[in-house]
Amino acid sequence: MKITVYGPGCTNCVTLADHAQAAAKELGLDVEIEKVEDFAEIAKAGIMNTPGLAIDGQVKVKGRVPSIEKIKELLK
Q: Residue 10 catalytic?
A: yes
Q: Given CATH 3.40.30.10, say whether it is the number of domain 2-75.
A: yes
Q: Residue 73 catalytic?
A: no
Are the beta carbons of 76 and 45 closer than 8 angstroms? no
pLDDT tens-digit series, residues 60-75: 999 999 999 999 999 9
For the full predicted model, state whether its pTM sits above 0.75: yes
User: Among 1, 10, 43, 48, which one carries the catalytic annotation?
Assistant: 10
Max CA distance (Å), the chain:
33
What is the mean pLDDT of the segment spanning 50-68? Answer: 97
pLDDT tens-digit series, residues 24-43: 999 999 999 999 999 999 99
Confidence at residue 10, expressed as pLDDT on a 0 to 100 scale: 93
Confidence at residue 28, expressed as pLDDT on a 0 to 100 scale: 97
Confidence at residue 26, expressed as pLDDT on a 0 to 100 scale: 97
